[in-house]
Structure 1
Amino acid sequence: MKELQEAPFWLWILVPAILMLQGTLLFRNAQGRGKGKMAWFWGIWGLTGAPTPAVCYLLFVILPDRRKARKKFAQ
């Protein structure tokens, strides 16, 4: 616990800012893709930690959408 007391002040400001930014970006992107209720899931999960929610969003939402679009375009 002593490590937390020794953390610089700027770190206490930077971490919540990064989490808020990530949650907001995931929420807005999911909303724009028309994912409905899942936008709230991605936004809230984005507030909990970094970068795992962003990587999972990339793997489970963005890449499959791109594959579908590429298949559709090829036909």
Structure 2
Amino acid sequence: MNDVGQMEWLLWLGIGMLLFAQSTGLFLHARSRGRKAWFWGLWGLTNFPSPLLTYLILQTWNARKQKRQTKSTGDHPEGETKDG
């Protein structure tokens, strides 16, 4: 019985450490990019891996969006448009 209780305690400790690490990583990365750091940090404490996957998908989407905007404005001089 003692082994089962100790294993359960270690499992809960591991889950807590995993959630804390995820939360800290999301918070620090979001803070460095200026994107609602407290939201991501708190949501990272609630479950795993949904907040992490959502954050990565949104970061990829935003990076592609910015790349497209930079590319579309950088190709043409001001006032000039591209046909077609």
Q: Which category of TM-score, normalised to the shorter sequence, fits these structures?
A: 0.7 to 0.9
Does the alignment pair 1:63 with 2:27?
no
Q: Distance in 1 between matches of 2:46 and 2:6?
A: 19
Q: How does 1:29-44 map to 2 (within 5 A)?
A: 29-35=29-35, 38-44=36-42
User: Superposition RMSD on alpha carbons, in Å?
Assistant: 2.0
Find the aligned partners of 1:39 and 1:7 in 2 and give their Cα distance. 35
Runs of 4 or more, structure 1, over 4 Å off, are none
Higher relative contact order at CA 8 Å, sep ≥6: structure 1 or structure 2?
Answer: 1
Distance 2:54 2:40 in 1: 10
Query: For the pair shown, which has the larger CA radius of gyration, 1 or 2?
Result: 2
For residues 20 and 73 of structure 1, the distance between their equivalents in structure 2, rounded to whole angstroms, comes to: 38
TM normalised by structure 1 equals: 0.76
Consecutive unaligned residues in structure 2, runs of 5 or more = 75-84
* Alpha-carbon distance in structure 2 between the residues aligned to 1:73 and 1:22: 33
TM, length-normalised to structure 2:
0.68
Aligned residue for 2:47, secondary structure, equals coil
Identity in percent: 37
Aligned to 2:49: 51
Q: Structure 1: which 5+ residue stretches go unaligned? A: none
